[in-house]
Structure 1
Amino acid sequence: MGTPGQVSTISALLSENAQQRADERAFTILNDGHDESDVMTHASLDLEARAIAARLQQSARPGDRALVLATDNAHFIRAFMACQHAGVIAVPIAPPLPLRNPRKAATMRAIAADSGARIVLTGSTTQLREPVRTFAPDLAELEWIDVDTVPVTAAADFRAPRIDAEDISFLQYTSGSTALPKGVMVSHRALLANEEMFAAIMGLTAEDVIVSWLPLFHDMGLIGKVLQASYLGTHLVLMPPAAFVQRPARWLRAITKYRGTMAGAPNFAYDMCVSRIAEQDRAEFDLSSWKVAFSGAEPIRPATFDAFAKAYAPYGLAPETMQTAYGLAEVTLIASGGVRGEAPITTDVDHDALRKGQVVPGGDYTMISVGKARLSRRIAIVDPVTKLAREQGTVGEIWLAGDDVPPGYWGNPEATLETFQARIADTGEGPFLRTGDLGVLHQDELYITGRLKDVIIVGGQNHYPQDLEETAESAHPWVRPGFGCAFALERDGREQVVLVAEILRPLGSRRTGSEAAKAPLPTLAEIRRKILAAVSDQHGIRLDDVLLVPVASAPKTSSGKIQRSTCRAAYEAGELKSAPEPGGQVLEEIS
C-alpha cells in the first residue's frame, strides 16, 4: 500500500499523498448527486489545505480549536485538512438544518462553548453566517473564515508547525441523546490506528473506489470515508446526504458510473433502496464492481440484508458484498466488522433465553454477528455492576481496548475516568473503554443486543427496544420503518412502556408498488390496535401508550440511530404531537 503505517499524523499523510499520487483523483464532489461540481487531486488538496492553514496561522496557534461548519463537502474537506496542517484542533459540527431548528441549534451552541472554539471555518456560498447570527449570536462573535476565498498563493506563507502523534487531530462530539454531547479527543495516533483497522476489516487497498453520501461532520462519513480514502490514497466520490434522501437511486447510479467497490451506510439506507426505487427503474444499475456494502449503525437487521441482496442480485450485486460493522466515536470509529467476501454470520437463538441474558442456540430469533476482534482490538463482555468478566454466551456490557482508543473526553476528566479507564474488578485487567452497549460473544463472534440504558424491564424480564420497534413496524404497512422508539418511564408510581412510531407522510396520490398505497385507508386507532396486538402477542407486553406521530418527529443521530432518551424526554414534556388522521389521503415514505 505504501502510505499506511508509515506516517504519524494526518498532515504528513497529506504531504506524502501529494508527492506519491500528485495528479491522481482524491475526491470527486457531486453536489446535485449526479454532475461533478468539484474535483481534487492529492496535490491540489494538499496545496489548498496549506493555503487555508497559512490563513489560519494568522488567527490561531497549534492546539486552538476551529469549528468546521459547512454544507458543501468540498469546503468541509479543505477546511478540515487545513486544520491538520496548521495543528489546529478541528471541531466538525452539524449545520443546524433546517435553519432555526431549536434542538440542532442548541447542540451547535453547546459544542462551540464546550470546545472553546475561536474560529469558524465555512464557505462563502453556504449562506449560513447570517441565519446563525440570529439564533446563535454567541457564534457570530467568533472569527469566520470563508475557505473558498483564500487564494492558493497563500500556501507560500505556510510554516509547518511541529505536530506529534499524540496531539489531538479533532474533537468528535458524540451525537448522543442530549443537547450536551461530549467531545472525544481523537489523537493522530488513535486515528491512524483506526484507519488501519478499518482497512483491514473491510479488506481495502489503494485500488478501491469509495462512494458515499454520509454527512462529513459524523465519524462514519469523516473517518470511514474521507480519511480512509486519504489513508489508502484512493478515490472517493461524494454527494450530500440530501441528494441520497431525495433520490436513493443517485447512490447506486454513482456506484455504477464510477465502478465503486466500497459504499456503506446505516441500515435504513438499504431499506430505502428497496422501497423507494421501483423495480422497473433498476435496469440502469451495474453493481458488479461493489465488493463491500457495510451497515454500521444499529440495529443491523438480517431481513434488511436479505431484502437488499435479493432486490439487486439481478443487477450484479453478489450476496457476500453485504457486511456488518460495529463502532462508536469513543473508539474513534470502527470496533469490529465482518470479513470481506464472506456472508455475515447469523445465529438462531431462543428469544426468551436471550432476554434473560443467555444465548441458547436453536430458537427462532436471528442474531447477526458484527465480527471478531482484529489487530490490536480486545473485546470483553462484563457485568456492568460488578465489573466482573462474563463467559461466552452470556450478555453483558461490551468493553473494548486497542491502539485506536482515544485518550478521553475534552475537558471532562470525570467522564474520561469512568468511560475510558475501566478495569476488570478481580484481575485489574485494563484499561478498557466502556461502550454502554450490551452484547454477547458466541464462538468468538460479537453480537449486539442493545443499549444498557435503553433496556426495558417488565416483570423482571429484559426487553430490547429495537425488538418492540421492529414488531411495531411489521404490524401495519403505514408504520414508517426505522423510525419507531420504545422506552420505559416512571408514571403514577409504576413503570410504563410507551412506543412512539412515525406514520408515513400524507400525499395527494398513491405511490405505485407501495404496500401502504395498496392497503385500505386506516384510522390512527386501527394502526394503534394492530401495534398493541402484535407487541402483546410477540413479547407478552401490554404497551401503556402508542403515540403515532408525523414524519421527522422521532429524533435520530446523524448516523441513523434513534435517540431514545431525547424521544422519552420530548414525550414526557408533551412536545410530540399526534399525526393527523389519514382522512382519505395516502401516505408516502420520506426519510
Structure 2
Amino acid sequence: MAVPGNFTELALCRIHERPDATAYQFVRAGREGVLEADPLSYGELGRRALRLAAWLQERGCHGQRVLILHSDGEQFVTSFLGCLFAGAVAVPAPPPGGARQNVERVAAIVRDAAVSYLMTDSDNASAVSQLLATTGHADVVCLATDRATPSAPDDWREPGLFPDDVAYLQYTSGSVSEPKGVMVTHRNMLANQEAVRQAMRTGPDSVVGGWLPFHHDMGLAGHLLHPLWLGGRGVLMSPVGFVRRPVNWLRMIDEYGITTGGGPNLGYDLCVRRVTDEQLAGLDLARWETAVNGAEPVRAETLDAFAERFAPAGFRRSAFYPCYGLAEATLLVCGGVPGVTARERTVDAGELEHHGLRGPRPGRPTRRLVSCGIPRGCEVRIVDPESHAQLPDGRVGEVWVRGDSVGHGYWNRPLENGQAFRAVTADGSGGFLRTGDLGALDGGELFVTGRLKDLMIVAGRNLYPQDIERSVQRVSALFGSSAAFSVESDRDHVVVVQEVRTGRDFETELASLAAAVQSRVAEEFEVAAENVLLVRPGTVRRTTSGKLQRGAMRQMFLAGQIRPLHEVVAPEVRRLVAGGTDARPAGRGAGER
C-alpha cells in the first residue's frame, strides 16, 4: 500500500482490504462471570463510520470540534472514525456517569474546545443534555448515535485532509494542572503509530488489547488505534470491568490470545493484591509477549512481585515492556526491546537528590530505577530546567523531546505553546517539547525519576514524593494509596495523606499509625513529617487511568476539603489551610502540564 497522507486514508485502506476480518472484540463479563465478546468487523466499522461522517458533513462539521462521550466501545470507535472521515476534530472525553470529577472535566472541555456537536449514547444522553443545559451550552447539538438515523455511506465525500490538519484533541489527565487539549495532527498519528510498531515489533498477526479508557492517550492511540494501523485485531474491556475484577483482564489476555498490551503500574499492583490462588490456577499467560508498563512511574518492586506471582501461569519477566510517553507526544517517546529484560539501576538516594546517578554506597539509602528504553522516532535531551543547558549522561534534568510525534501545541493557548512546545536550548537548538518530567540518560536509555512540578524542596533537599509514599505504605498492612506533597509558609512543610482501613479501636490505632508515619519519614528521609492525614479508602484522587493527582490533593488540603479520620497538623500549616493558600511563589515549578 502507498504511504498514506493522513490517518483517514490508512483506516479506509484497512477497511477495504479486510472487510470480513474482525477489527475489534469488546469483552465483558456475562452470566456466572464467563467472558463474552461483541465482535466488530472492519467492513461493518467502515459502514457505520461513513454513515456518521456523511451526517456530520451535511451539517458543515469540517474543522469543527465534536465531543465524544461514549461508555460503549463499539460506539466510541464508530464516532471517532466518523469524525476523522468527516474532517471534523474528534474530542474524546469521559462520560459524566454521575461522578462529580468527570462532570467538572467534561464541562471544562466543552468550554475550552468550543464544541459544536456532541456524540453520546442513549444511556448517557439524559445526563449529558442536563450537563449542557446547566453549564450554559444548550446550543451544542447532542446526538445519541445508537438511536440516530444517519445518512447513507454513499453520501460521504472525501474531506481533503492534509498531514498537518488536526485530527483530534487529546485532553491531558490534569494530574498536575487543569486539562489542556493537545492538538494531535494526522502527521503526529502516522509518525507515532509507526514508532510504536517498530519499537514493539507488532504486525498484522498481533493481538492488541487492554482496559484503559479511550479518552486516555494509551487507551486511544495504543489499544484502540494501533490494531487499526496494523490491520490486526483489538481486544478491549472497560475500565470498570477491570477494577471490579482485575483477574478478568488476565483472563481476557489468556482467552483471546492478546500478544501486546498493558497499562499503568497500578494495574499490575492490583492484580498482585487481588488475584486469588484459585483464579491464578486457571490462567495461561504464555502468549503475552509484550506487557506494556507505562502512563505512570514504573516501579521495580511491582515488576518483581507480578513476575513472581504469575510465573506459574507462564508469565515471563522478560515480557515486561517499561516505556515512557505522554499525550503531548501523541503516545510513545521511549521504549525498550521486546523480549529483553529492561535494565535497572540501583542508585544512591542522596546523590539523586543532587540530580546525579551514582552507584550505591554502603550503609546509605538507595533507589531502584527502571529503564524506559531508547528514543523511538524522536530525539530526547536532558536539559537544565533553569539554564536550558543540555546535561551529560548521568545527570538528572528535564526531559525535552523533538520529532514528528510531538503535537502542535495546546488548543487555544498560544502563549503557553511558545514555552512548552517550542523550547530552545542554551546552544540555540529549538523546537523542543518541555515534558515537565525529570530523568537522566544512561547509555542512551532514559531513566525517569519524577515530575518537576512534584519535586519537594525541604530543608534545602530535593525529595521525590513517590519515594516518601512508597516508604509510608510499608508502615502498615492497613495502608492503601497515599499522596505526599509540600506546602510553604516561611518554609516548606511535608504533608502526607494516607488511606487506611480502620478497625474497632480505631482512635487509639490511628494515633499510633500517624506517629509511625512520622517516625518512618524522619528516619528514612531525615525531614520532619509534621503533617499526617489518615483518610478513608477512596479519598486519594487519581485519574481514570490510575495516575496519582498530587496537585489536586494539595489543592484540596489547602482548601480544607479533606475529611480525615485522624490528623496531625503543625500550627503554621493549619493557618495556611484556614487561609486556603500558601506562600509558594507563582513561578515555582516550571514545566507543568
Relative to the length of structure 1, the TM-score reads 0.91
1:501-516 correspondence to structure 2 within 5 Å: 501-504=498-501
The aligned residue for residue 79 of structure 1 is 79
The aligned residue for residue 555 of structure 2 is 569
The one-letter code matched in structure 2 to 1:30 is V
The aligned residue for residue 376 of structure 2 is 374
1:73-472 correspondence to structure 2 within 5 Å: 73-97=73-97, 99=98, 101=100, 103-129=101-127, 132-133=130-131, 136-151=134-149, 154-177=152-175, 180-363=178-361, 364-375=366-377, 377-425=378-426, 427-472=427-472
Contact preservation (8 Å) 2:268, 2:306: yes
The one-letter code matched in structure 2 to 1:399 is W
Q: CA deviation at 1:261?
A: 0.6
Matches of 1:262 and 1:128 in 2, distance apart? Answer: 37
- Flag the 1:277–1:177 CA change in 2: closer, same or farther, 3 A: closer
The one-letter code matched in structure 1 to 2:369 is M
- Flag the 1:424–1:308 CA change in 2: closer, same or farther, 3 A: same
The aligned residue for residue 56 of structure 1 is 56
- Flag the 1:96–1:335 CA change in 2: closer, same or farther, 3 A: same
Cα shift readout 1:437-485 (whole Å, capped 9, x = no counterpart): 11111122111111111111122110000100111111111111xx311
Cα shift readout 1:11-30 (whole Å, capped 9, x = no counterpart): 11221011211111111112
Matches of 1:329 and 1:368 in 2, distance apart? Answer: 21
Matches of 1:10 and 1:237 in 2, distance apart? Answer: 21
Cα shift readout 1:499-528 (whole Å, capped 9, x = no counterpart): 11122488x9xxxxxxxxxx9997211221
Matched, 1:560 2:557: no
What is the number of equivalent residue pairs in this alignment? 560
Matches of 1:296 and 1:226 in 2, distance apart? Answer: 16
The aligned residue for residue 498 of structure 1 is 495
Matches of 2:501 and 2:447 in 1, distance apart? Answer: 31
Contact preservation (8 Å) 1:47, 1:152: no
Q: CA deviation at 1:324?
A: 0.3
The aligned residue for residue 12 of structure 2 is 15
Q: CA deviation at 1:250?
A: 0.6
The aligned residue for residue 549 of structure 1 is 535
Matches of 2:134 and 2:38 in 1, distance apart? Answer: 31
Q: CA deviation at 1:129?
A: 3.6
Contact preservation (8 Å) 2:55, 2:150: no
SS at match of 2:122: coil
Contact preservation (8 Å) 2:207, 2:234: yes
Cα shift readout 1:74-126 (whole Å, capped 9, x = no counterpart): 111111010010000000111224x051x332221111111110110011234
Contact preservation (8 Å) 2:542, 2:549: yes
Cα shift readout 1:339-368 (whole Å, capped 9, x = no counterpart): 100011101111100111111123532111
Cα shift readout 1:151-184 (whole Å, capped 9, x = no counterpart): 5762122122111111110001111246732111
The share of aligned pairs that are identical, in percent, is 36
The aligned residue for residue 577 of structure 2 is none
Q: CA deviation at 1:294?
A: 1.1
- Please, what is the CA RMSD of the aligned residues? 2.1
Contact preservation (8 Å) 2:63, 2:88: yes
Matches of 2:342 and 2:440 in 1, distance apart? Answer: 16
Matches of 2:253 and 2:116 in 1, distance apart? Answer: 39
- Flag the 1:285–1:522 CA change in 2: closer, same or farther, 3 A: farther
- Flag the 1:461–1:100 CA change in 2: closer, same or farther, 3 A: closer
Q: CA deviation at 1:211?
A: 2.1
SS at match of 1:138: coil
Matched, 1:579 2:576: no
The one-letter code matched in structure 1 to 2:381 is A
* Consecutive unaligned residues in structure 2, runs of 5 or more: 568-593
Matched, 1:530 2:528: no
Contact preservation (8 Å) 2:459, 2:527: no
The aligned residue for residue 479 of structure 1 is 479
Contact preservation (8 Å) 1:355, 1:461: yes
Matches of 2:211 and 2:202 in 1, distance apart? Answer: 19
Relative to the length of structure 2, the TM-score reads 0.91
Q: CA deviation at 1:135?
A: 7.5
- Flag the 1:442–1:128 CA change in 2: closer, same or farther, 3 A: farther
Cα shift readout 1:328-347 (whole Å, capped 9, x = no counterpart): 11111111112100011101
State which drifts further: 279-288 or 461-470: 279-288
Cα shift readout 1:180-200 (whole Å, capped 9, x = no counterpart): 321110000011101111122
- Flag the 1:277–1:150 CA change in 2: closer, same or farther, 3 A: same
Cα shift readout 1:388-413 (whole Å, capped 9, x = no counterpart): 11111111111011111111111111
Contact preservation (8 Å) 2:393, 2:443: yes
Contact preservation (8 Å) 1:105, 1:136: no
* Consecutive unaligned residues in structure 1, runs of 5 or more: 509-518, 582-591
SS at match of 1:477: coil
State which drifts further: 275-284 or 219-228: 275-284
State which drifts further: 215-224 or 52-61: 52-61
SS at match of 1:499: strand
Contact preservation (8 Å) 1:100, 1:135: no
The aligned residue for residue 25 of structure 1 is 22
State which drifts further: 556-565 or 246-255: 556-565
SS at match of 1:340: coil
Matches of 2:136 and 2:38 in 1, distance apart? Answer: 32
- Flag the 1:160–1:59 CA change in 2: closer, same or farther, 3 A: same
